[in-house]
């Protein structure tokens, strides 16, 4: 199984026409033991899974390891997939829960540098653009800083949100999932999604306010 593409190479959301068009046939073949079909699914979704893991854990090396674990878990559980939801939604559920469990294991540890001296906020020279969508939620975000600086600030503040707020902002604002998909992934009611998302946005605005 290939390692996920480097950050920036994978899209935060599936390219148009990617998710769902050919998945059922590939899943059927993979469930029947066709390793090539599963490898095709891995190639199709590895950038997507890596991006979600990176947003959740904030460390590229950890996100790469988690992506590998997630696809291994998906492979082992593939026979239990019955097609009640899209394959992408099922994979999102595995990804989000696996990352949540990982975060729980290290949540109370003090902030640290990532492996290789990388900051936990994933701060490279060219941060992924989707985090700009959260900066736009703040007043005058378009004049806050240049795009790259805003993205770094948002990524850093996102890492300091409460776990529930961080996850729901990633799923909605960065990954672009519907309320229904988020409810299914998190196992909560739609009303809970709406109220939690509102509180998360308010917390994010408050954290961005000092940077205005």
Query: pLDDT tens digits for 94-127?
Result: 998 898 788 767 654 554 554 444 444 444 444 4
Give pLDDT, residue 92: 84
Higher per-residue pLDDT: 9 or 62: 62
pTM: 0.55
Give pLDDT, residue 103: 74
How many residues are there in the chain? 212
- How far is it, in rounded angstroms, from Cα 32 to Cα 78? 10
Contact 34, 101 (CB under 8 A): no
Residues 123-154, buried b or exposed e (16+ Cβ, 10 A)? eeeebbebbbbbbebbeebeebeeeeebbbbb
pLDDT at 12 over 70: no
Burial of 95 (0-12, 13-18, 19+ CB in 10 A): buried
Query: pLDDT tens digits for 160-187?
Result: 888 888 888 888 887 777 898 788 778 7
Number of helices followed by number of strands (H, E) in the chain: 9, 0
Domains and CATH numbers, the chain: 1-121 (1.10.1740.10), 125-211 (1.10.10.10)
Give pLDDT, residue 31: 93
153: tokens are 């600030």
Task: Name residue, tokens 């699914």.
Answer: 41
Give pLDDT, residue 128: 42
- Smallest CA-to-CA distance from 196 within 171, 164, 160, 172 is with 164
């Amino acid at each position: 199984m290939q390692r996920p593409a480097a950050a920036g190479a994978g899209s935060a959301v599936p390219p148009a026409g990617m998710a769902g068009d050919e998945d059922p046939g590939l899943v059927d073949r993979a469930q029947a033991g066709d390793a090539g079909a599963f490898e095709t699914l891995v190639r199709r979704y590895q950038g997507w899974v890596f991006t979600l893991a990176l947003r959740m854990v904030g460390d590229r090396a950890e996100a790469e390891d988690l992506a590998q674990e997630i696809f291994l878990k998906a492979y082992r559980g593939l026979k239990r997939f019955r097609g009640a939801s899209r394959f992408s939604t099922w994979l999102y559920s595995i990804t989000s829960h696996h990352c949540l469990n990982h975060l729980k294991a290290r949540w109370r540890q003090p902030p640290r540098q990532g492996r290789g001296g990388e900051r936990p906020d994933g701060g490279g020279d060219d941060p992924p653009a989707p985090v700009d969508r959260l900066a736009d939620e703040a007043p005058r975000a378009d004049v806050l800083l240049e795009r790259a600086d805003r993205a770094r600030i948002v990524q850093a503040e996102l890492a300091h949100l409460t776990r529930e707020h961080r996850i729901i902002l990633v799923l909605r604002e960065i990954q672009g999932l519907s309320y229904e998909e988020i409810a299914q992934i998190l196992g909560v009611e739609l009303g809970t999604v709406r109220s939690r998302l509102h509180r998360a946005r308010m917390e994010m605005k408050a954290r961005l306010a000092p940077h205005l």
